[in-house]
Amino acid sequence: MSALDTQHCIPRRPHAWAAWLALSQLAVAIVWWRLGWPWGLPALLLSHALFLVPVFLPRATFYGPVLARLPTAERAAWLTIDDGPSDDTPAILDVLERHGARATFFLVGARAQARPHLVAEILRRGHGIGNHSHTHPQSRFWALGPRAMGREIAHAQQALAQIAGAPPRWFRSVVGMTNPFVSASLRRHGLVRVAWCARGYDAVDADPGKVLRRIGRGLRPGAIVLLHEGAPHGRSVEIVEATLRLLQREGYATVAPP
């Protein structure tokens, strides 16, 4: 696969949404003034939904560009593993080595600081790392304000750069949620937001068969596959290995962009 030019995925206009917000509320005010509340109230609710719904859609580009699939026609997949480093990391690295596979680990900054040797081992074995926030605030990431969001991304970037010797290039939002304040920090740090097109909900589902069926439905050339490590059910290593076997059966090579 040729080198990927993902520069276009770094946000160029991180505040463009603000102009759309102002225009939409002006339109609502005009509708309410001319047609009254029976039309104005639905217009107001619809305008708010247009800005709220993209927050919860991992591949939505309303608040900034996102890479959800590699631009290739080859049967290649980008394996991405979230939420580490964890107790599972060494075993997952062994599994990847047995299968001759490459992956990118999207790491939580605070967890990386606690286990820098695992970050170093990921890199030593030829895999990539990405920024997955500093504290992984799963229940409230979507609602973080500009300062809190900036700290989550910046602190993780700093922690990972200190351990790895170079800053990550990739960012994955927590639970895939992306609010209006993510893109400004991504632009500041030169980060590309990465989503996925194949996922198995392996962070919550301990049944490898169900996980693989979901991943299989999303497989296509250039697929970005989402997996996790350290899941509470304790079967993350098994699921990673089962996914690698699935990719091999389907004739997919694993690639990890630089």
Catalytic residue of the set 127, 132, 136, 228: 228
DSSP-H helix ranges across 36-165: 37-52, 89-98, 109-114, 116-124, 146-164
The yes-or-no answer on residue 228 being catalytic is: yes
* Closest C-alpha among 107, 117, 86 to residue 234: 86
DSSP state of 35: H
Question: Do residues 195 and 176 make contact, with C-beta atoms less than 8 angstroms apart?
Answer: yes
* Closest C-alpha among 83, 198, 178, 69 to residue 130: 83
Pairwise CA distance, residues 2 & 6, whole Å: 12
Structure tokens at 187: 């632009």
For the chain, the maximum distance between any two Cα atoms, rounded to a whole number of angstroms, is 68
Catalytic residue of the set 15, 48, 82, 88: 82
Question: Do residues 229 and 236 make contact, with C-beta atoms less than 8 angstroms apart?
Answer: yes
For residue 57, how many other CB atoms are within 10 A of its CB? 14
Q: Which residues pair with 105 in a beta bridge?
A: 81, 129
The yes-or-no answer on residue 82 being catalytic is: yes
Which residues are known catalytic residues? 82, 228
